[in-house]
Structure 1
Amino acid sequence: MAFMERSALTTDGKRVMSLEEFKRWLRCFDSNRDGRISHSELREAVRLSSGLFASWKSKSDIESSDANHNGFIDDCEFRNLAHFAEKYLHITITRF
């Protein structure tokens, strides 16, 4: 979690990260090291970042980030998480 703490903050208190920084941070939750983030691994990231209620509430957003509905957030689907990150993880993903 220390990685997030070094990120810049916006005026509303959200962390600012590039997409690559966000990918690196999220991969810390890849418990089986398969290079993909499962729904349960993403829920764990939300739980640790925002609390249990946010994890439960975020279920549909997690599922909508998984564009091909295979149960994992693959490398090409990380961009789908930008809205999710702002809403549940209090992170702003910079787009460039």
Structure 2
Amino acid sequence: MHRSADFPRLNARMNCSNCGKKSKCKGCVSKCFPVPLTKEQVKRILESFDSNGDGRLSKQELKDAFYYIGSQFPRWRVAQALHRADGDHDGYISQGEMYGLVEYVWQCGYTIS
């Protein structure tokens, strides 16, 4: 099950990369900007949504994960993810297929802002 203590809320304001203050600080020359998720962060987030612990991600678990990372169309993203990463076409993402899923999600460009 997903534990919110493991990950920051992705749509929460993070500290400025220049001065360390909260977003929209007034002392920085450059504006604060969203930080892209790393592949490792994407993998940890996705794995945290394996709610039944079977080592696979179902459509609902994927939908919950996409919703969590801020997808505006989580059902569509699930369909695209399964199309690209579900090699055996069983409707689940297994551990062996996780690399393809992580690549797809990472290429979508989700950020921490």
TM-score by length of 1: 0.66
Q: Indicate whether 1:87 and 2:87 are aligned.
A: no
- Give the RMSD, CA atoms, in angstroms: 2.6
> Please, which of 39, 42, 60 is the counterpart of residue 79 of structure 2?
60
In our comparison, the structure showing a higher alpha carbon Rg is: 2
Shift of 1:12: 6.0
Letter in 2 for 1:36: R
Shift of 1:50: 1.1
Across the two proteins, how many residue pairs are aligned to each other?
83
> Please, which of 70, 78, 94 is the counterpart of residue 98 of structure 2?
78
Cα distance in 2, alignment partners of residues 84 and 56 from structure 1: 14
Cα distance in 2, alignment partners of residues 12 and 63 from structure 1: 27
Cα distance in 2, alignment partners of residues 77 and 39 from structure 1: 14
Contact 2:37 2:106 in 1 (8 A): no
Shift of 1:54: 2.3
Contact 1:4 1:15 in 2 (8 A): no
Going by fraction, where is strand more abundant, 1 or 2?
1
Alignment gaps of 5+ in structure 2 = 9-16, 18-32
Going by fraction, where is helix more abundant, 1 or 2?
1
Provide, for residues 23-62 of structure 1, a one-character-per-residue CA deviation record: whole Å limited to 9, x for no partner: 33322111111111112101110012114x3203213312
TM-score by length of 2: 0.58
> Please, which of 59, 70, 74 is the counterpart of residue 39 of structure 1?
59
Provide, for residues 69-93 of structure 1, a one-character-per-residue CA deviation record: whole Å limited to 9, x for no partner: 11111111011111233316x16xx
Cα distance in 1, alignment partners of residues 68 and 36 from structure 2: 16
